[in-house]
Amino acid sequence: MALQLWETLKEAITAYTGLSPATFFTVLALLWAIYYVVTGLFGSSGAPTQRSRDFEEMEPLPPPVQLGEVTEEELKQYDGSDPNKPLLMAIKSQIYDVSPSR
């Protein structure tokens, strides 16, 4: 059954296109590859990509917490182990309240 279908398909390809089945499928694969490359370069302008949508939904960082001079030992008290205290993080000498991201 499958062999008979393949033989019929080969005859139809040759009759309708004038190409051998190998040439027909090679041309078909090349056209598909060209389509894939072109759509990847230009893309669809109608729908934004997932990456740009995620970027738009990101909220800006909150401003640094103003605590004055804080030692490393004092900052360790705000490590998130106590749920009643805020979770603070220091980045390049700036202290940020990251409690909502627990």
As a whole number, mean pLDDT of residues 41-55 equals 62
Say what the pTM is.
0.40
Tokens found for residue 20: 């051998």
The C-alpha angle 7, 27, 8, rounded to 5 degrees, equals 10
pLDDT at 18: 92
Q: What is the dihedral of CA 66, 70, 73, 76, to 10 degrees?
A: 10
As a whole number, mean pLDDT of residues 4-28 equals 93
Is residue 57 classed exposed, middle or buried when 0-12, 13-18 and 19+ CB atoms within 10 A define those classes? Answer: exposed
pLDDT at 68: 74
C-beta separation of 96 from 88 below 8 A? yes
For 68-85, the pLDDT digits (tens) are 788 888 888 888 888 888
